[in-house]
Amino acid sequence: MDKQTILQVYETMLTIRKFEEKALHLFEENKLRGSVHLSIGQEAVAAVVGAYLRDKDYITSTHRGHGHAIAKGARPDKAMAELMGRETGYCGGRGGSMHIADVEKGNLGANAIVGGGIPHANGAALSAQLRGTDQVAVSFFGDGAANEGIFHETLNIASIWKLPVIFICENNQYGMTTAVDSVTSVKDIAVRAAGYDMPGEVVDGNDVFAMEKAVKKAIKRAQDGEGPTLIEAKTYRWKGHWTGDPEVYRTRDEVEEWKTKCPIKRLEKHMQDKKILSLEQIEATHTKIDKLIDEAEEFALSSPDPDPATVLDNVYYEGDK
Amino acid sequence: MSRKKYSVAIRDVIAEEMRSDPSVFVMGEDIGALGGVFGCTRDLQKEFGKNRVRDTPIAEAGYVGTGIGAALTGMRPILDFMYLDFVYVAMDQLLNQAAKLRYMYGGRATLPLVVRGQQGIGRGNAGTHSQSVEAFFTHIPGFKVAMPSTASDAAGLLRTAIRDNNPVMFIEHKALYASSEEVPDDPNFAIPFGKAAVRRQGKDVTIIATSLMVGRALEAAEALSKEGIEAEVIDPRTLLPLDLDTMLKSIEKTGRAVVVHEAHKNNGVGAEIASQIMEAGFKFLDAPVVRLGAKACTLPFSLVLENAVVPGVDDIHEAAKQVCYK
Amino acid sequence: MATKVNMPKQGLQMTEGTIISWLAAEGEQVKEGYPLYEMETDKLTIEISAPASGTLLKIIRGEGDVVPITETIAIIGEQGEDISGLLAEIQSSGTGDNSEETAPAESQKAGVGDKTAAASEAAAAGEPKAEGLGTGTTAGSPAGKGPFYSSPRARWKAEEYGIDITTLSGTGPEGMVVERDVQAAAQNRPKATPLAQQSAAESGIDLSGVEGSGPRGKIYRKDVEAAHRAVSGTAAAGTAARSYREDRLVPLTGMRKTISARMRESLDTAAQAVHRIDVDMSETVRMRESLKAAEVKVSYNDIILKAVSLSLQAYPRMNSRLTDDGILELGAVNIGVAVALDEGLIVPVLRDVDLLSLKAIHDETRRLADRARTGELTQEEYTGGSFSVSNLGMYELDSFTAIINRPESGILAVGAIKDKPAAVKGELQIRPICGLSLTYDHRIIDGAPAADFLLSVKQLLENPYLLV
């Protein structure tokens, strides 16, 4: 990973982290409503994928999708406005936290049905294949989705048609409150790739360089017309499934243990060791991102609510093809 | 004009649209070499190849979801269902995804997607291959729903469906595939959605019928005519959008309406049509709007039982007389 | 089994009714709930529906007959049925009975007539508050048998055709009136030639009461003219149509009979004295012109009503009636306004005139007059007056004397407004002068206070800005 990409990944991770910390704060202050699923602790997966995808490449995302959106280029202010259901948000307040999409930027959308978005990445990849472009599609999903039928149907189709798609399973150890090993037939979800005749790789999802290696390989394979790859990124969500989760299903020790593997801290240490960034520069980056997120908050809070008179807009596309 | 079977009219429109628009492609089960169980994609793979006429695994949710992704990214997929009964296997992708994405993404996504296939009675296929699914797709906002009852309408409506930028549920009928009529040769022949067809003029009672029931309604109308009752038969052609105006205009004249569909009467589209008529045209009504539909049981296998469940010509005849107080 | 058609009692104090016309001939089929004959109470003409379906076997009492209530006027039964026994029984008893089976059907129209009859009698008896009993219970129920149902379409079509749907009986489920019932009624309505329709419109004759001499009862102009002569009976109508200088006896029926009785009663009872005064209407004319320029429609009569109402408020004795317990000065100022109809006179009552704006007086007077002309007045609308105003200004009269509308104690007769010479500050000027003539009951009010009242009206009309 070159220095510039390292800095990009670092800033993306920091932006995701601070965006979500802000979202949590606003939720606790009752300034935003609905389900807000945080990916704090998992930032490396989204940030690395985002760094290696081009604008024209596609992603599909999940209910825990703020990180994917930001990594694919979403602006924190418009994303925060969507979390607050404002007119200026990515979906004009129609979708909220779980449905941020920016189709023009290749983000085909977060999806609140577990596994619901996986085949859409397949379709985007098929579209690229039919149109003869070198675009690739990435589907992010969780360990829970790997037990949905649609996951299996999609991988099978991607394999037989050799679609330029990369399936990235963020195994954060819990499907809501259920530990992955208690509901999954295999220890590593990546081994399921074998059933669909595609490479399956287990990666330390909190290690940006391990992610880099796996993602680059998968992109190359997709662009070479060899078909899909399944990457299982082992990671951990520090926060509950939702804001207010009593977290009865895990111990504090376990959470603290994973916090020592913080992907951001690890990269900061690496950058200091390799003299990429000094401590002062790291602090300055924090200050810069803090400001960005404060501005996002300010933008969202000062944005208008959607006009109820427009509630029926966009049920259908109006007008001719 | 050329005389064509309903199934051939559909096949020809798909072919014409694929020729004129490279983003149109077809996916589905057994559509390639076989050309579909009912021949609606016959020989298309020969002309357009395996990429654009794509046999899928038996994975309805998988290929519908794949179609959604393709539609989101510039393609215009036609998703072929061998039996529309199988939509239930793909319901999350259809109703949670295809129907909703545009709205939930604040209008920042467009899904030019046609889901087409046949449904209904006529082949002794029993409960999971004979039912009518339209009500599900008229209930959740996001789909448009077309139900052609003739070969020419099938052609004109399908072209509109393929060229529409919304998800369209295009509902054909297995018992109509063999019916034939003159179909315009114009490669741009299209019937706009939301325009009902008045199949027969009459002054005494309005019979609103869909799909296979249109023919039965016309038969009943002939019998009624012999008894001095002139029925007007209206085929809405699309259920969403629904052409309420044409129906109201007729009912203003007749004062009476019977709504008949093959789908279950309970919570069916007929209930919606009857309610809309009542809300907008109460003063026109001389009698309550009567609905006819399949009885509230699973479609049975036995032909005798199947006939007992689905409205027949006699049932329509009786209902029309009933609302005429005769 | 044959059914007797009896003269229906339509109000508490009704004792007799006049048969105006039979809508079916002997031997014709009649239908329960459909109009069978027209009768006249002392205020209004109403249609009465057949109490049973069948053949009209016998008409016992003919058109023009004044028949006491409950007396049998016709018999309905099956074709060829022997009714000699029944006829003999009727002959011997002289009256019909009141059994449920033979009670006449009451239509909605009969319901209205019911109120009318009771009310006019009540008014004649000096009890304006008396309610017509027996109304309401059958309202909306053509056959008087439980609730009335009609389809939305039947109601729509009935409105379009101008048919009162509640007079129809239904052939739909549970007797619901459906479209075909309305269509049948529309078709059964008398057909008239365009000339006859025009003539009827001009002379204010309701075609449904006209007997047609053409095939299947088609009405020609001559039928309308005959009907018009029958109701007006005036020389004006008569001279044109009558070719011989023959005498004609007009039966004293209905409204004429009531008016006759009430005028006699008034003069027999009250000590009627008259004051007369001229009013200079210059300012009133000016005010009306400026209102007119501002597109506010107000008539002279409206302004006079307002002046009278304020004067009545100031002189409550003029707004009173004599009761057994003493003189009852009425709190509310309710003024009767005489409306001339072809068949006579009716006096709808404007309530609380002193509280109404000129505009409101104008609108309400027009509304009541329209309803009086179409025979739609309800009891409340022509009873309960405390004073009356009769304006014959359109007849060029200088002034005239009116008879008190008992139990009120005064009536103001208003003549025409005419330009006349008048002495103004010692000079001769032409002024619009209106002659007012107050008839008052000297039993309860003397000449001086009556003069004060009349002077008050004059002053208000000469300074109409005080009316505000």
- Residue A163 sits in a domain whose CATH number is 3.40.50.970
Residue A311 lies in a domain: no
Cβ–Cβ gap B66/A126 under 8 Å: yes
Q: Residue C177: is its pLDDT beyond 50?
A: yes
pLDDT the model gives residue C145: 52
Q: How sure is the predictor about C13, in pLDDT bands with cuts at 50, 70 and 90? A: low
Per-residue pLDDT averaged across B32-56, rounded?
97
Least confident of A33-37, B146-150, B201-205, C229-233: C229-233
Cβ–Cβ gap A91/B105 under 8 Å: yes
Active site residue C446: yes
Q: Residue C330: is its pLDDT beyond 80?
A: yes
pLDDT in tens, C305-320: 999 999 999 999 999 9
E strand or H helix that includes residue B86: none
Give the minimum alpha-carbon distance from A201 to chain B in angstroms, rounded to a whole number.
23
Neighbours of chain B (3+ CB pairs under 8 A): A, C
Q: Residue C137: is its pLDDT beyond 60?
A: no
Report all structural domains of chain C as residue ranges with CATH numbers, in order of start: 194-232 (4.10.320), 270-467 (3.30.559.10)
For residues A104 and A91, what is the distance between their CA atoms, to the nearest angstrom? Answer: 13
Q: Which of A211, A140, A146, A203 is nearest to A178 (CA)?
A: A146
Instruction: Name which residue leads in pLDDT, C51 or C120.
Output: C51
Q: Which residue of A has its CA nearest to B25?
A: A130
Give the best residue of A58, A120, A135, A162 to mutate against chain B (max B CB count within 10 A): A120
At C388 the three-state DSSP class reads strand
Q: How sure is the predictor about C344, in pLDDT bands with cuts at 50, 70 and 90? A: confident
Give chain A's domain count. 1
Per-residue pLDDT averaged across C172-193, rounded?
86
C467's tokens: 């009316």
Q: How sure is the predictor about C139, in pLDDT bands with cuts at 50, 70 and 90? A: very low
Active site residue C442: yes
Residues of C in contact with B282 (CB under 8 A): 152
Cβ–Cβ gap B286/C178 under 8 Å: yes
Residue A312 lies in a domain: no
The residue from B16, B129, B134, B173 that is catalytic is B129
Cβ–Cβ gap B141/A58 under 8 Å: no
Q: Which residue of C has its CA nearest to B283?
A: C152
The residue from C275, C342, C442, C452 that is catalytic is C442
Chain A touched by B64 (CB under 8 Å): yes
Query: Residue C318 gets which letter from DSSP?
Result: G
Q: Which residue of B has its CA nearest to C181?
A: B286
Per-residue pLDDT averaged across C450-468, rounded?
92
Q: How sure is the predictor about C104, in pLDDT bands with cuts at 50, 70 and 90? A: very low
Report all structural domains of chain B as residue ranges with CATH numbers, in order of start: 2-183 (3.40.50.970), 197-323 (3.40.50.920)
Range of the domain at A169: 3-298
Residue A313 lies in a domain: no
Q: What is the ipTM of this complex?
A: 0.94
Residues of A in contact with B99 (CB under 8 A): none
Cβ–Cβ gap B286/C173 under 8 Å: no
Backbone angles phi, psi at C9, to 5 degrees: -80, 120
Cβ-Cβ contacts under 8 Å between A and B: the total is 159
For residues C376 and C382, what is the distance between their CA atoms, to the nearest angstrom? Answer: 11
Residue A222 lies in a domain: yes
HEC sequence for C256-292: HHHHHHHHHHHHHHCCEEEEEEEEECHHHHHHHHHHH
Q: Residue C210: is its pLDDT beyond 90?
A: no
Give the best residue of B29, B97, B104, B144 to mutate against chain A (max A CB count within 10 A): B104
Residue A154 lies in a domain: yes
Give the minimum alpha-carbon distance from B276 to chain A in angstroms, rounded to a whole number.
19
Residue A274 lies in a domain: yes
Cβ-Cβ contacts under 8 Å between B and C: the total is 28
CA angle A290, A295, A300 (to 5 degrees): 125
**Cβ contacts of B254 within 8 Å, gap of 6 or more:** B202, B203, B204, B205, B206, B232
Chain B and chain A touch, per 3+ beta carbon pairs within 8 A: yes
Q: A184, A232 in Cβ contact below 8 A?
A: no
For residues A224 and B221, what is the distance between their CA atoms, to the nearest angstrom? Answer: 64
Amino acid identity, position A247: E
Q: Residue C131: is its pLDDT beyond 50?
A: no
Chain A touched by B210 (CB under 8 Å): no
Chain A touched by B58 (CB under 8 Å): no
